[in-house]
Amino acid sequence: MANRILMKGNAAIAEGAILAGCQAYFGYPITPQNELLEHMARRMVEEGRVFIQTESELSAISMVLGASAAGYRAMTSTSSPGFSLQQEGISYMAGSELPAVVVNVMRGGPGLGGIMGAQGDYFQAVKGGGHGDYRVLVLAPASVQEAMDLTMLAFELADKYRNPVIVLADGYIGQVAEPVELRTPSPAPPAKPWAVTGANGRKKNVIRSIHIQPEDLEKHNLHLAQKFAAMEAAEVRYQGWHLDDAELIVVAYGSVSRVAQTAIKQARDNGYLVGMLRPISLFPFPYKQIENLLGKVKAFLVPELSLGQMVEDVRLAVGKAAPIFQVHRLGGMVLSTEEIYKAIADAAQEVGLRPKDPLTLAI
Partner 1 sequence: MNTTLDNELIETVFERPRTLTETPTHYCPGCGHGIIHRLVAEAIDDLGLREKTIAVTSIGCSVFAYDYFDLDAIEAPHGRAPAVATAIKRCDPTRNIFTYQGDGDLAAIGTAEIVHAAARGENITVIFVNNAIYGMTGGQLAPTTPLGIRTTSTPGGRESGLSGYPFRISEMLATLEGVAYIARYSTHSPAQVLKAKRAIKLAFEVQQAKLGLSLVEVLSSCPINWGVNPKDSLDWIVKNMLPIFPLGEIKITEKVKGLLGEK
Binding residues for partner 1, rule: CB under 8 A, are: 23-24, 26, 50, 52, 54-56, 58-60, 62-67, 69-70, 72, 74, 88-89, 92, 96, 196-201, 204-210, 212
28 vs 300 by CB, closer to partner 1: 28
184 vs 213 by CB, closer to partner 1: 213
Shortest separation between residue 71's beta carbon and partner 1, angstroms: 8
205 vs 337 by CB, closer to partner 1: 205
Shortest separation between residue 323's beta carbon and partner 1, angstroms: 45
Task: Tell how strand 50-53 and strand 299-304 pair up.
Answer: unpaired
Shortest separation between residue 69's beta carbon and partner 1, angstroms: 4
Q: Which residue type is seen at 204?
A: K
The Cα-based distances of 16 to 50, 72, 107, 257 in angstroms read 16, 16, 22, 22
Shortest separation between residue 58's beta carbon and partner 1, angstroms: 7
201 vs 352 by CB, closer to partner 1: 201
11 vs 44 by CB, closer to partner 1: 44
What's the number of CA atoms in the CB half-sphere (13 Å) around residue 356? 15
What one-character-per-residue DSSP string does 239-265 give? EEESTTT-SEEEE--THHHHHHHHHHH
What's the number of CA atoms in the CB half-sphere (13 Å) around residue 166? 38
Shortest separation between residue 86's beta carbon and partner 1, angstroms: 11
- Give the number of other Cβ atoms within 10 Å of residue 326's Cβ: 17
Q: Are 282 and 125 in contact (CB under 8 A)?
A: yes
**Is the backbone of residue 300 left (phi > 0), alpha (psi -120 to 50) or beta?**
beta
Shortest separation between residue 65's beta carbon and partner 1, angstroms: 6
Q: Specify the DSSP class assigned to residue 139.
A: E
37 vs 263 by CB, closer to partner 1: 37
